[in-house]
Amino acid sequence: MSDDNEKKTEEKKVAVVPKAKPSEKADIAAKNTDKHKAGEYVLREGNTWANAWKFAAGVGALGLALSAAGWMNDPRRFAFSYLFAFMAVLTPALGTLFFVLQQHLTSSGWSVTIRRTAELFASGLIVFAILFLPVWMTRAKLFPWVEGGEAARAEVGHGEAAATHTTAAELAQPATGQDEAPGQRRPQHEPAGAEMTGPGADHAPHAEHGPGAHEPVLNANERGEHGDPEELEAEHTVHLKRGYLNEGFFGIRAIVYLAIWAWLGFAFLGRSTKQDTTKDPKITVGLRRFSCAAVYLFGFTLTFAAFDWVMSLEPLWYSTIFGVYVFAGCAVSAYALLILVTMGIRSSGVLVKEINVEHYHDMGKLMFGFVVFWAYIAFAQFMLIWYAAIPEEVQFFHLRWDHGPWATVSLALIGLNFIVPFFLIISRNTKRRLGVLAFGSAWLFIMHIVDVYWLVMPNFGQDGFNVSWIDLVCLLGVGGAYLAVVLYRMSTTPLIPIGDPRLQRALQFENA
Amino acid sequence: MASPYLPIREIGEIPLVREGETFQSITDRIARVTEDKTPRNWWIAFGISLCFLGLLGVCVGYLLWEGVGVWGNNSPSYWGWDITNFVWWIGIGHAGTLISAILFIFRQKWRTSINRFSEAMTIFAVMCAGLYPGIHVGRAWYAYYMFPVPNQMSIWPNFKSPLMWDIFAVSTYFTVSLLFWYVGLIPDLATLRDRSMNPRRQKVYGFLALGWRGSNRAWQHYERAYLILAAISTPLVLSVHSVVSFDFATSVLPGWHTTIFPPYFVAGAVYSGFGLVMTLMLVARLIYGVKSIVTTQHLELMCKVMLLTSSLVGYAYAMEFFIAYYSGNTWERAWAWMRITGPYWWAWIPMVGFNAVLPQLFWFKFFRTNLAALMVISILVNVGMWFERFVIIVGSTYHDFIPGSWGYFRPTIIDIGTYAGTMGLFFTLFLLFLRWLPMIAIAEVKGVIPASDPHGEEGHEYHSNEGGAHDPDLEPVPGE
Amino acid sequence: MSDDPKNKQTRKEGLEQAAREALERAGTETKSPEDAKTDPMTGEKRKEIDGPKLPPEERGAAGKKTQKLALLLAEYPTPGRCLHAAEKLRAAGYTKFDAHTPFPVHGMDRAMGLRDSRLGWIVITAALTGTSCAFLMMWWMNCIDYPLIIGGKPASVSSIASMVPIMFELTILFSAFAAVFGMFAMNKIPMHHHPIFESDRFRAFSTGKFFISVEAQDPKFKLEKTRDFLEKTHADFVELVLEPAAEHK
């Protein structure tokens, strides 16, 4: 790093690689080994980043300790806060795995120098196998479908609370323009009897209840905990899902997801670091093939994990696009994370030339693309549910639009997770101004955490929106633990895949 | 030559255009198609297409004369082949935009050999699709109701209707595709103008080429305009089929109302479009000898895109069926079950078979490179995609919520004739395009051959781009 | 034209060899005006364009008074040489020159010192106009002039979700028009008459030759000097192009 001239000559020699015929391969491999010394891109002792894992571990330990205190203090709150933290950290981690897959699938040359950082972050996915344990242990508090669980009981209480706390004035508020449909006022109760009335008659219950927004308030007060036909209906519907939503299968699925992710993370980093020393171009070919199969595993595990851990928080609600929605968040946050981390590493004087404005320009473009993709998916999900207004579907948005503070968060997601960043990073100039891009990335990363909060927390059930210290300590705990592992590996691994045959393309990459 | 952009053979990369092609040979090869005497096969194909076009005229004329009763649409399936064909044609168009816009943005340079071709396909497919909403209204002379003009009741169109969104989406799509196509054609029209020997050709192409001089100052704005068009076409192409899917998904009908419809329709559209590009490309490659420009590698890459989009479609099928189960809703579960076991099971089998299962053959290199297999698969892809639309439209409407209003849709001869007729329209236009316009983007293909790299020349050492600070473009000229 | 053996051969040679050959070729192939007259490529059209044959007063006042001289055109066989010629012209202080290439040559914008295209600003203005037009249209038509309540969705801004698709489509439509017609305006096309078309050699620009034109209006333009300058840039051919006869006053 210190000797620029030396490096330049090295690179020149490496540039000969593409010209060589396969027969000369062994020769090249031998030559290459002299050129990019693995040690050259390993963080030095004194570098801030070499020791960053200690700091992350400290924060993580403190966070987890305080989370444990939170668990003692308010187990139900902890359950939700922890799930939120778990998902908020897991999603960008999965996004980095997607980044690696994407680069291999498309045989990208430009991104080679960034790929190692993503590989390191993906390899940290194994941590979530351990971090998942609290989610498993608190499942009865989280998921209403867990038989005899607290959540199932709390659900009922919440349903009442939500309804009684909703004033007529709030009901009249045209948050989504859909408030006229009174059936939606009872989010947790399945109004349309699947067996008895069917979706074709979805609007029939509304008619029975008569027009007027006051109706459901009265209904909720009159309703007892037991014997309400709608509740019985809801129970029955959950019962119909038992084949999927049962604890044993849930646990097995979780093990499968976590094992697959840990394996993929390891496999990509492992093969790539192996190439650092062997310089074998076959590894590139092999990883491209592997990524084709891996992307299937990734897609399905991510989707079903999203269904299991987030969508089933409201067991009556369903949306076929939900997995894609969570995926969009993964991708945006991973790009933001990679931009921020590589910029951080650069600020310590490493990788300054290997990852330059050209790479950030492309990262910015892709991040921008995924921001738009997120908005597209979010709009498709919202608009279709809003438009059709089928009661069991609208409950999701009902919770998030018709309760004051959550409506504000929903609006903030539109404005701050789409409109503002859209205009911030649409221009070529802002993507090439690293300060602005870093700001935009940090912004999007924070908004992603808000997005996850918005997905998980409305199900906590205490009406409206309340932030707890437990949210924060859980986030610090999970994030710290994950980062500690990733940063530790980072301190011992070369920061760029020096054996990749396309490395030269990344080093000389320029946006047209 | 030390450019890192050269193919790295160790990892299986090969040149995009066969080695040995020069600027001159590429120009000759492509432009000659429009200059040589019309081949006899072209006349035969054109004649057949014209017959089908005539059939379209007859069917549409009869429809307008008699009314939509001549079609099979009837209670409870008020949408039948008309909307199926509309969605099918629109979908086919999407591959063109994907290739010209999305692959451009992703710097997939292999697109240069097929983009012109598929853009033309887009435009003609959208024309075929656009025909249907017009004739589907029955009284076509009231088709202007679709546009925001007040009618005799002084009422405006209902902008909350997804069908209105469709009008805007499809007409925008057509207009933008046409602009994009024309902008791409300008430099090639200049090539035809400069090569033309007879004054009439020179005048016509010269007029269309707008006086293009290849000036770098013009290229600069041109490239920016092209980039912007690509950038706006990308969300546009996503939006168009999403809006088409809204026609169904905004309803409360099981099998129609599902949130994954927008991306699922887009993936399916791109998939079917690639199928047709592949079919047409195989034929054109055979007839016009452009094998060195549209290489086996291109076909392989197209197979991979088809594999990807087919898998996305498969994912959507899986999600639909899973959520139908997961919803615990009787009616959701019922439609899923009826898809497989109901009276239209014969349409569901090719839908899943050709769309989700068959392209999995593309995992194997043999099927990606065997031209006969490609031809068969690419045709079956479009058969499968047609059935997908048919299953969605008819398969969700033939069973109403009340068993008393269950029915069974059967197409009439006019349905079939109209569909066959749109093929005639499509191929007539397509053959005219092949005959009179360069079917491959000449200027763009030149830009991807090694000789186009100003630094790839003899004696120019390629220096590393040191953090962007070092400017490789400002190398001293040798001998200076 | 395409099969210049030297060109191919030099690919394989080293740096000096290439330079030497390039110079050689420049020396042998660059036509002096006298040669140009006899060059079969020039045909009849070019019979009156030789520099020295021009009356001295016209030559001296090139581009200022008579408009007779239009530009000097240099031809190059490869994009690289064209690029370097552009770099040198720019370094020498020429401003009204241009490269004419069959495809956009990578790095040429920087070589010529062009400013970044401003087309994006036109497009974003049009895009926002499109969004607003769509919104105002739907809002006025369905909420003000004739309020329509459909499917329980109120005739107000709170139904904005149903307006999004059309707002989006019109944004795209307006942007596309702005991009295309903005580009036309910035490039001043259609322009079917330009002196450069007087050159027969120039027709090869759309096939595989690379040209540099230096306009006579350039403040640094001096016929002899500029021609010498261009010859030194390893041009295969340097040609003087006049305004078409019809445009003489």
CATH number for C73? 3.30.70
Boundary-marking domain end, from C186, C216, C231: C186
Q: Rounded to an integer, what distance in angstroms lies between the CA atom of residue C148 and that of residue C244?
A: 63
Q: Rounded to an integer, what distance in angstroms lies between the CA atom of residue B351 and that of residue B310?
A: 11
Q: Chains touching chain A at 3 or more Cβ pairs under 8 angstroms?
A: B, C
Q: Rounded to an integer, what distance in angstroms lies between the CA atom of residue B110 and that of residue B297?
A: 9
Q: CB–CB of C164 and A389 under 8 A?
A: no
Q: Is residue C249 included in any domain, yes or no?
A: no
Helix axes B261-288, A357-388, angle to 10 degrees: 120
What digits encode the pLDDT tens for the residues A352-407? Answer: 888 888 899 999 999 999 999 999 999 999 999 999 988 888 989 988 888 778 88
Contacts of A190 (CB under 8 A, 6+ apart): A230, A231, A233, A234, A237, A316, A391, A392
Q: CB–CB of A198 and B327 under 8 A?
A: no
Q: What is the DSSP string of B358-375?
A: GGGGGGSHHHHH-HHHHH
The whole-number pLDDT of residue A184 equals 39
The whole-number pLDDT of residue A352 equals 83
What digits encode the pLDDT tens for the residues A8-34? Answer: 444 433 333 343 344 444 444 444 444
The whole-number pLDDT of residue A92 equals 96
Q: What are phi and psi of A423, to 5 degrees?
A: -75, -25
The angle at the Cα of C5, spanning C4 to C10, to the nearest 5 degrees, equals 105
Asked if C21 and C143 sit in the same domain, the reply is no
Give A 335-364 residues with CB within 8 A of chain B.
352-353, 356-358
Interval C74-88 mean pLDDT: 88
CA B465 remoteness from chain centre: 38
Asked if C89 and C201 sit in the same domain, the reply is yes
Query: What residues does A60 pair with on adjacent strands?
Result: none
What digits encode the pLDDT tens for the residues A133-151? Answer: 999 999 998 998 888 766 6
C-alpha distances in angstroms, A310 versus A231, A259, A325, A329, B25? 22, 19, 11, 13, 59
Alpha-helix residue ranges (DSSP H) falling in A315-419: 322-347, 357-388, 391-401, 404-414
Q: What are phi and psi of C149, to 5 degrees?
A: -105, 110
Q: CB–CB of A383 and C156 under 8 A?
A: no
Of residues A228 and A150, the one with the higher pLDDT is A228
Give A 374-393 residues with CB within 8 A of chain C.
379, 382-383, 386-387, 389
Using the Cβ of A25 and the Cβ atoms of chain B, whether some distance falls under 8 Å is answered with yes
Q: Express the helix, strand and coil content of chain B in percent, nearest 5 each.
A: 70, 0, 30
Boundary-marking domain end, from C186, C217, C235: C186
Asked if C42 and C78 sit in the same domain, the reply is no
What digits encode the pLDDT tens for the residues C123-179? Answer: 999 999 999 999 999 999 999 998 988 888 889 888 999 999 999 999 999 999 999
Residue from A176, A202, A318, A503 whose CB has the most chain B CBs within 10 Å, to mutate: A318
Which parts of chain B sit beneath pLDDT 70? 1-5, 18, 289, 456-480
The whole-number pLDDT of residue A147 equals 81
Q: Is residue C60 included in any domain, yes or no?
A: no
Q: Rounded to an integer, what distance in angstroms lies between the CA atom of residue B453 and that of residue A426?
A: 29
Identify the closest residue of chain A to C121 by CA–CA distance.
Answer: A427
Q: CB–CB of C120 and A427 under 8 A?
A: yes
Residue from C110, C157, C172, C214 whose CB has the most chain B CBs within 10 Å, to mutate: C172
Q: CB–CB of A18 and B8 under 8 A?
A: yes
C-alpha distances in angstroms, B79 versus B74, B87, B133, B389, B395? 8, 12, 11, 11, 11
| Shortest alpha-carbon distance between residue A106 and chain C (Å) | 23
Asked if C89 and C131 sit in the same domain, the reply is no
Identify the closest residue of chain B to A235 by CA–CA distance.
Answer: B328
State the average pLDDT for chain A: 79
Q: Rounded to an integer, what distance in angstroms lies between the CA atom of residue A427 and that of residue A422?
A: 9
State the average pLDDT for chain C: 75
Q: How many CB atoms lie within 10 A of CB B198?
A: 8
C72 in Cβ contact with C88 (< 8 Å): no
Q: CB–CB of A177 and C159 under 8 A?
A: yes
Asked if C212 and C226 sit in the same domain, the reply is yes
Interval A265-286 mean pLDDT: 90
Three-state helix/strand/coil letters over A342-369: HHHHHHCCCCCCCCCHHHHHHHHHHHHH
Asked if C234 and C221 sit in the same domain, the reply is yes
Using the Cβ of B158 and the Cβ atoms of chain C, whether some distance falls under 8 Å is answered with yes
Q: Give the three-state DSSP class for C74.
A: strand
pLDDT category, A220, cuts 50, 70, 90? Answer: very low
Q: CB–CB of A379 and C156 under 8 A?
A: no
Of residues B2 and A313, the one with the higher pLDDT is A313
Number of A/C CB contacts below 8 angstroms equals 34
Q: How many residues does chain B have?
A: 480
Q: Is residue C62 included in any domain, yes or no?
A: no
What digits encode the pLDDT tens for the residues C53-76? Answer: 444 444 444 444 444 788 888 888
The whole-number pLDDT of residue A209 equals 39
Q: Which residues of chain B have a CB within 8 Å of the CB of A365?
A: 105
Contacts of B326 (CB under 8 A, 6+ apart): A241, A244, A307, A318
Q: Which CATH number fits domain B23-461: 3.30.160.250, 1.20.1630.10, 3.40.50.920, 1.10.30.50?
A: 1.20.1630.10
Using the Cβ of A176 and the Cβ atoms of chain C, whether some distance falls under 8 Å is answered with yes
ipTM: 0.88
Q: Rounded to an integer, what distance in angstroms lies between the CA atom of residue B392 and that of residue B351?
A: 10
What digits encode the pLDDT tens for the residues A434-443? Answer: 999 999 999 9
The whole-number pLDDT of residue B457 equals 54
Q: CB–CB of B329 and A319 under 8 A?
A: no
Global pTM value: 0.83
Asked if C111 and C83 sit in the same domain, the reply is yes
Lowest-confidence region among A193-207, B128-142, B437-451, C202-216:
A193-207
Q: CB–CB of C102 and B446 under 8 A?
A: yes
Residue from A173, A384, A387, A431 whose CB has the most chain C CBs within 10 Å, to mutate: A387
Containing structural domain, residue C82: 67-115+189-244
| Shortest alpha-carbon distance between residue B189 and chain A (Å) | 24
Q: CB–CB of A178 and C153 under 8 A?
A: yes
Q: CB–CB of A502 and B468 under 8 A?
A: no
Query: What residues does C72 pair with on adjacent strands?
Result: C214, C240
Interval C173-186 mean pLDDT: 94
Give A 189-218 residues with CB within 8 A of chain B.
194-195, 198-202
| Domain extents in chain B | 23-461
The whole-number pLDDT of residue C93 equals 86
| Shortest alpha-carbon distance between residue C158 and chain A (Å) | 5
The whole-number pLDDT of residue C226 equals 86
Retrieve residue B223's tokens.
């490239």
Q: Rounded to an integer, what distance in angstroms lies between the CA atom of residue B289 and that of residue B439?
A: 12
Q: CB–CB of C18 and B24 under 8 A?
A: no
Residue C17, amino acid: Q
Asked if C107 and C196 sit in the same domain, the reply is yes
Identify the closest residue of chain B to A370 by CA–CA distance.
Answer: B235
Which H/E stretch holds residue B303? helix B296-326
Q: In what order do the strands lie in the sheet with C237-242?
A: C97-100, C210-215, C69-76, C237-242
Considering its fold, how many domains does chain C have in total?
Answer: 3
Q: Who among A180, A426, A512 is closest to C106 (CB)? A: A512
pLDDT category, C245, cuts 50, 70, 90? Answer: low
Asked if C73 and C162 sit in the same domain, the reply is no
Q: Is residue C100 included in any domain, yes or no?
A: yes
Of residues A340 and B446, the one with the higher pLDDT is A340
Which H/E stretch holds residue C100? strand C97-100
Identify the closest residue of chain A to C163 by CA–CA distance.
Answer: A383
Q: CB–CB of A383 and C162 under 8 A?
A: yes
